[in-house]
Amino acid sequence: MTVQTSSPSAIEQIILPNVRDIGGFDVRRALPSAQWRMVGPFIFLDSFGPVVFGPGEGVDTRPHPHIGLSTISYLLQGEMLHRDSAGHIQQLRAGEINLMTAGRGIVHSERSSDPVRASGGRLKGFQAWVALPEAHEETDPGFQHLLAERIPLIQGDGASLSLLAGSLEGVQSPTQTVSDLFYADLQLQAGACYRLSAEHIERAFYMVSGEVEVVGQPGRFGADRLVVLRPDSEVVLRAVGPTRLLLLGGEPLEGRRHIYWNFVSSRPERILQAAEDWRARRFPDVPGDDEFIPLPADSQVRWRFKA
């Protein structure tokens, strides 16, 4: 699982996430950024927490819509309750995966459950968005929950890798994605190395904790850095101390993707339609959750990837 050197000039870009308060705690957004738009089909990556909620406090992300993407939610600490307009209700706990495919349109909310809200607790995790291929942009909405024990685990030489989605090292995750991608949680002991091969064209790693070196490259990378790697480069990561990071990437999608608020599409007119549908309340409701997030004013949301 280890080799000694990386390809020359293996690093393409280093991204510092934008930090924003979403109502009581900070979210660090690594994708999309001014420096880099997508890594494979990954168009969005948020890291949140750790945040400590007192009794009576919790997460309250009101119902909001999506089109043209799949969301992958993964927690390291705490739990959240998912509800969506297709009728799915699922408690997400640390170490588990929620994969929600929006396709032609879905509405969902994420909140703390009543027992968690009553007692308080900690929360830390990630949400990634994967843009769908054109042939799947208008697919039916879907949802999949994966327990921690169903996530493939690859171990050896001081490295432990949980394959959250896609394929890597000849192993396939049971998460039902339609793009050629990989998404993994990698933990390294101090001094351990991990070789990330060039089997996928576009790759990046996001530092969760600790420090890592790219062998043969200057410098070290600490927490909350997204490091984009050059295509076709062989990369060896070496942990300075106990280290945790996310690996992500895959094959680039055909054509550009536009993103506006929570909508992603290869067609700008489809996003305009979705925005008008949400403004007119034509999306389906989330059973048991009658609140909603209004469409932001145009001045509050930027179009990205405009031709």
- Give 69-100 pLDDT, tens digit per residue: 999 999 999 999 999 999 999 999 999 999 99
Residue corresponding to tokens 């351990």:
192
Q: Kindly state the percentage of the chain with pLDDT values over 70.
A: 93
CA dihedral 162, 195, 41, 296 (to 10 degrees): 70
| Residue pLDDT, tens place only, 174-226 | 999 999 999 999 999 999 999 999 999 999 999 999 999 999 999 999 999 99
**Domains identified in the chain and CATH numbers:** 11-250 (2.60.120.10)
**Is residue 299 scored above 50 in pLDDT?**
no
* Pairing between β-strand 79-84 and β-strand 18-21 as defined by DSSP bridges: unpaired
Question: Torsions phi, psi of 115, nearest 5?
Answer: -65, -40
pLDDT mean over 20-29:
82
| Residue pLDDT, tens place only, 219-270 | 999 999 999 999 989 899 999 999 999 999 999 999 999 999 999 999 999 9
So what's the pLDDT on residue 9? 82
82's tokens? 């998912």
Query: How many whole angstroms separate alpha carbon 294 and alpha carbon 302?
Result: 16
Q: Average model confidence (pLDDT) for the chain? A: 94
Residue 15: HSE in the Cβ half-sphere, 13 Å Cα cutoff: 26
Residue 180: HSE in the Cβ half-sphere, 13 Å Cα cutoff: 11
Q: For residue 43, what are the β-bridge partners?
A: none
So what's the pLDDT on residue 21? 80
Establish whether 66 is an annotated binding residue.
Answer: yes
pLDDT band at 307 (very low <50, low <70, confident <90, very high): very low
pLDDT band at 2 (very low <50, low <70, confident <90, very high): very low
pLDDT band at 25 (very low <50, low <70, confident <90, very high): confident
So what's the pLDDT on residue 1? 42
- Identify whether the C-beta of residue 186 lies closer than 8 Å to the C-beta of residue 152: no
Tell me which of 129-143, 188-202, 252-266, 285-299 is least confident. Answer: 285-299
**Is residue 305 scored above 70 in pLDDT?**
no
Establish whether 251 is an annotated binding residue.
Answer: no
pLDDT mean over 108-114:
96
